[in-house]
Structure 1
Amino acid sequence: MPQETSRITYLLQRYTSKTCTRRELEELLAYIAAHPEDAALQHFMETAYQGLPADSALPEVDLDHVYHNIITPAPAKRIFPIRYVAAAAIIAGAIALAFLWRRPGPSTQTNIPLAQQTINNITPGANKAVLTLADGTTITLDSSGRQVIGGNTHITQQNGQLVYGANGTDNRLQYHTLSTPRGGQFKLTLPDGTRVWLNSASSLRYPTAFTGKDRIVELQGQGYFEVAQQANQPFKVMVNSMEVQVLGTSFDVMAYGDEATVNTTLVAGSVQVKEGNALRLLQPGQQAVLDQANHALTVQAADVQKIIAWKNGLFVFNNMTLAAILREVARWYDVDIVYTVTPSAELYGGGISRNLQLSGVLNLLEASGFNHFKVEGRKIIVLP
């Protein structure tokens, strides 16, 4: 829409001229997270930064002074002043916008910045997965492959996604499993038309046809679901002992074994989350949090744009610790984290493109925090 395009162009101009307000910056980030391939964004970046090498970054932009002059701060516990806004560049033909902020504080570290180290750079994750058929046969999937899989179950792979036909001729109850490795993601369309995005280090087990009274799938890791509406056949996602039941909705489930909680976040529609005798009904914008240690199930308001940003090519952080951020980085770049010290307890906010090479992400974290990093092979060593 012309009016929307004009608004986004205005926000981008405000950002690059260092005059945007906090509210405008948040609006811009939310739009990018929801529309990563928007033509207006692409055109503006190509025009504004024409001639820059694909891997170049813009100079650092310190918005502290701008914020001090044009923003009336909210309560301190809710605001984290910007210290670093950088890296709006075109990478692989797409926009890579990255910025971080943290609680201000002095830093006396003298470690050599990561940017000055000679390292073998690590590329970001990509569309890749393994499909395990009912008979145990495994098929490797990626972005470029195009193939038709299965005999009586019509399955096609194309452009980084797997699509099941709705009219297979085999009525036997058979299960397939789609698994993404660390450094991988994949999109899946189930036989009922439900679309699933699998994040890295995740798996989904599902039937090749939904023939019973319920549509049941089993998730490990993280997945975003857009469920095809069938009121007479509820859709259920099983995560260990927890059950998420929906009729027609969009939601995200994060259930990694190395996280303390299992989080179910509702984007649209309604879902019911059940664990043991606990039952919670979610409204859009709410999140059910299951503590994996004591099985306590609670409901809280959710930052939806942050939670679903991964499927749109962004890491988005909101008051997150370095350790929590590095767990996401480790899964996407297929690296291990080694701590030589206890990581800083600083809380970070902002966003980083998932298209950046690993060194670009770590440079942003170094510039915005107190810890430094060293890369050895596929290990990130956290230094003071």
Structure 2
Amino acid sequence: MTEKSISEIAPGVHDGEVTLSNGNTFKLSDHSLPEGAVKVFTIDTEGINYQTPSNKPQVKEMRNTLRTLHGMECHITLSDGTNVHLNAQTRLTYPICFSGKERIVEVEGEAYFNVATDKEHPFIIQTPHNMVKVTGTSFNIRAYDDEPEESVTLVNGSVTINHEGEEYPLAPCQHFVYDKNSSQTSIRNVNTELYTSWESGAFFFINKPLEEVFAYLSKWYGFRYSFQDEAAGKVKIGAYLNRYKNMNPIIDMIEDLNLVRISQKDDTLYITTK
């Protein structure tokens, strides 16, 4: 199938939606603030940057939420200097400024964290099923509600995952997985690039079944898909791909393996075995 057979599927963009503590919402691409916004941040082409406000007592209880939709990614610098890169379909809830003994945020989806070091104030990330505690480090969290696993991949530094009262410390290059179906946890040594390449602009797959590949790509490219038979979803591929290019060359690459056929009807891709 040639590229002309399928409509152009463009990559995602830098954008996000911010919901303020008063409930008002705005898109970063609007470059304007809604009524009632506390002006403690700036917006640039990649995301939003918070500064420590001078009137801390007034805003210390305020929490905002940054959300990316299908086909969006966004960077945010929190008031303590922590940098977070949100992948598509991700939600981060955070205080306008941190107060108290701990720096606490909540995340659902996928995000890469570079946490500002502050040993006196541990950084706490709450996911739907786990809690991750750090003092200053770089790591990836993947915690999508529609996926069977929740994971943490440590690049450098140290983190401790708390799951139902049990603590799981990670060393660099270790990968923690919580299986939602079996309620089992595991830790193994990994090539961290397999789990963090998206953050630097690439897709990296090694021996991955197409059902996982398409689940991953659909969040970024914003398309719908359907496997017409179970065998098609089990076909495994390996690839290192540019995240910021159109998806059509990826479709061509998969079809060139001569194992599956990909067609389009309306806005849905259909995958069948040959």
Mapping 1:11-50, distance limit 5 Å: none
Q: Deviations over 1:52-76 (max 9, x none)?
A: xxxxxxxxxxxxxxxxxxxxxxxxx
Structure 1 Cα separation of the partners of residues 258 and 198 of structure 2: 22
Question: Could you tell me how far apart the structure 1 residues matched to 2:265 and 2:68 are?
Answer: 24
Tell me if the contact between 1:114 and 1:372 (Cα under 8 Å) persists in the aligned partners.
no
Aligned partner of residue 28 in structure 2, secondary structure: strand
- Flag the 1:168–1:333 CA change in 2: closer, same or farther, 3 A: farther
Q: Shift of the alpha carbon at 1:123?
A: 0.8
The structure with the largest strand share of the pair is 2
Per the alignment, residue 140 of structure 1 pairs with 27
- Distance in 1 between the 2:73 and 2:37 partners? 25
Quick one: which of 29, 52, 56 aligns to 1:166? 52
2:215 pairs with 1:327? yes
Over 3 Å counting, the alpha-carbon distance change for 1:130 and 1:324 in structure 2 is same
Shift of 1:329: 1.1
Q: Which of the two has higher C-alpha Rg?
A: 1
Partner of 1:108: none
* Residue 378 in structure 1 maps to residue 267 in structure 2: yes
Aligned partners of 2:52 and 2:79 also within 8 Å? yes
* Partners of 2:76 and 2:54 in 1: CA distance: 17
What's the TM-score once normalised by structure 1's chain length? 0.67
1:203/1:219 contact within 8 Å kept: yes
**Distance in 1, Cα, partners of 2:242 & 2:257:** 16
Conserved in 1, the CA contact under 8 Å of 2:255 and 2:261?
A: yes
Structure 1 residue 347 corresponds to structure 2 residue 236: yes
- Offset at residue 354 of structure 1 (A): 1.3
Q: Displacement of 1:146 after TM fit? A: 4.4
- Counterpart of 1:358? 247
1:237 is displaced (CA, Å) by: 0.7
Cα distance in 2, alignment partners of residues 294 and 214 from structure 1: 32
SS of corresponding position for 1:368: coil
Q: Which has the higher helix share?
A: 1
TM-score, with length taken from structure 2: 0.93
**Is residue 373–residue 383 contact of structure 1 (8 Å, CA) maintained in 2?**
yes
What CA distance in whole angstroms lies between the structure 2 residues aligned with 1:151 and 1:119? 43
1:23 aligns to what?
A: none
Q: Distance in 2 between matches of 1:171 and 1:313?
A: 35
Task: Label 1:324 to 1:168 Cα distance change in 2 as closer, same or farther (>3 A).
Answer: farther
* Contact kept in structure 2, 1:322 and 1:346, CA below 8 Å: yes
TM-superposed deviation, 1:313:
1.2
Tell me the percent identity: 27
Aligned mates of 1:114, 1:129 — CA distance in 2? 33
Q: Equivalents in 2 of 1:220, 1:238: separation in Å?
A: 9
What residue in structure 2 maps to residue 175 of structure 1?
Answer: 63
Give the stretch that moved more between structures: 274-283 or 177-186.
274-283
Q: Which residue of 1 aligns with 2:104?
A: 216
Equivalent residue number for residue 11 of structure 1: none
Q: Which runs of 5+ in 2 are unaligned?
A: none
Q: How many Å apart are 1:382 and its aligned residue?
A: 0.8
Give ranges in structure 1 of 5+ residues lacking alignment.
Answer: 1-112
Alignment partner of 1:250 is 2:250? no
Contact 1:346 1:369 in 2 (8 A): no
* Cα displacement (A) at 1:148: 6.5
Tell me if 1:185 matches 2:78.
Answer: no
TM-aligned CA deviation for residue 293 of structure 1 = 1.8
C-alpha separation between the residues in 2 aligned to 1:309 and 1:267? 12
SS in 2 for 1:326: helix
